[in-house]
């Protein structure tokens, strides 16, 4: 079993401290977050270091504050721990994938059962006819035993039946010289098949490595919340905007309550958005991975003051 990287261990330990600060068990914690207890266990143990694990950290901080147990944590230090653990996790996965590809190549290029273990065919033995004479495939030592030699004339004392049997017993035809090459003709086909499989395995490994090495955009997961309208008595959702500075610059596409969105950066001082039901307002906007903008007022990201966004999110 591969040993866990120290960076993953440090991230896992910090995440477990945040979970303990909430005072909840895994089953109780799963009622407040969109993950099952088994999935939470994999995130907390460092078995999986993915974007959802980073989102779990922010939710644990908020949950601890709501339960009256504030935690002393700096978002920039926490995000640095996550980035280091994420890098180590991806390196371990690439290493495991490379080992699996090497095993696949070895299995593909290994000789098949038809290529190995074939016993040498014994030398052709002379086929003895019913008369006891050797087959024509073996050169005879006596000219009287050669197939083309003129048989001796029967003596008057020799029964006619013996002479008839000797003359009627024709030598068996020699074994076909093509029998053995026909068996060997399978080898080129097997070698070609093994080569094709090996080439396909190498191509798949190269393609997978290119996908892993492709630069990935770091995103922060958040959920749409707070869209309840007292006037309409329902959740209205929130529009997405092409720019945060123009009120009408929207395509009317709506993110409904509870929808998960991917945030790439945050702008702190843009157009102020106010909610008529709660009376709260905010000039903070979040840019999504698809290029659109949504008001931070309607996400579950931590609300902080100052110039630095929470959780290590970069400024747009």
Q: Tell me the pLDDT tens digit for each residue of 164-218.
A: 444 444 455 555 544 454 555 677 878 888 898 988 888 887 776 666 555 556 8
Is there a contact between 230 and 250 (Cβ–Cβ < 8 Å)? no
**Least confident among 6-10, 142-146, 168-172:** 142-146
Q: Is the pLDDT of residue 30 over 80?
A: yes
Q: What is the pLDDT of residue 213?
A: 55
**What are the DSSP calls for 208-219, one per residue?**
HHHHHHS-----
| Mean pLDDT score across all residues of the chain | 77
Question: Is the model's pLDDT at 293 over the cut of 90?
Answer: yes
**Torsions phi, psi for 287 (to 5 deg):** -95, 135
Residue 204 has a pLDDT of: 83
Residue-wise pLDDT tens digits, 250-282: 887 889 999 999 999 999 989 999 999 989 999
Please tell me the distance from the alpha carbon of residue 19 to that of residue 17, in angstroms, as a whole number: 5
């Amino acid at each position: 079993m591969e040993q866990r990287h120290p960076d993953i261990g440090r991230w896992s330990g910090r995440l477990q401290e945040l979970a303990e600060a909430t005072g909840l068990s895994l089953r109780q914690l799963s009622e407040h977050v969109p993950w099952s207890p088994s999935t939470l266990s994999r995130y907390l143990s460092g078995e999986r270091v993915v974007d959802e694990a980073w989102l779990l950290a922010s939710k644990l901080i908020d949950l601890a504050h709501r339960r009256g147990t504030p935690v002393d944590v700096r978002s920039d230090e926490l995000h640095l721990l996550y980035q280091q653990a994420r890098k180590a996790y991806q390196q371990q996965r690439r290493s495991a994938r490379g080992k699996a590809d090497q095993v696949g190549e070895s299995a593909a290029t290994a000789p098949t059962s038809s290529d190995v273990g074939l016993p040498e065919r014994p030398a052709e033995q002379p086929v003895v006819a019913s008369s006891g004479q050797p087959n024509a495939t073996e050169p005879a030592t006596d000219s009287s035993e050669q197939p083309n030699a003129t048989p001796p004339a029967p003596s008057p004392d020799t029964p006619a039946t013996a002479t008839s049997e000797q003359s009627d017993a024709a030598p068996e035809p020699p074994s076909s010289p093509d029998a053995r090459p026909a068996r060997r003709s399978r080898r080129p086909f097997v070698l070609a098949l093994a080569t094709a499989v090996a080439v396909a395995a190498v191509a798949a490994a190269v393609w997978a490595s290119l996908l892993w090495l492709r630069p990935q955009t770091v995103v922060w997961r958040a959920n749409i919340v707070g869209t309840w309208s007292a006037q309409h008595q329902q959740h209205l959702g929130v529009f997405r905007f092409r720019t945060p500075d123009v009120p009408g610059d929207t395509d009317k596409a709506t993110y409904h309550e509870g929808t998960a969105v991917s945030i790439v950066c945050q702008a702190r001082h843009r157009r102020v958005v106010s909610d008529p039901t709660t009376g709260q307002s905010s000039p903070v906007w979040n840019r999504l991975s698809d290029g659109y903008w949504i008001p931070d007022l309607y996400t579950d990201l931590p609300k902080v003051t100052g110039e630095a966004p929470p959780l290590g999110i970069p400024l747009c």
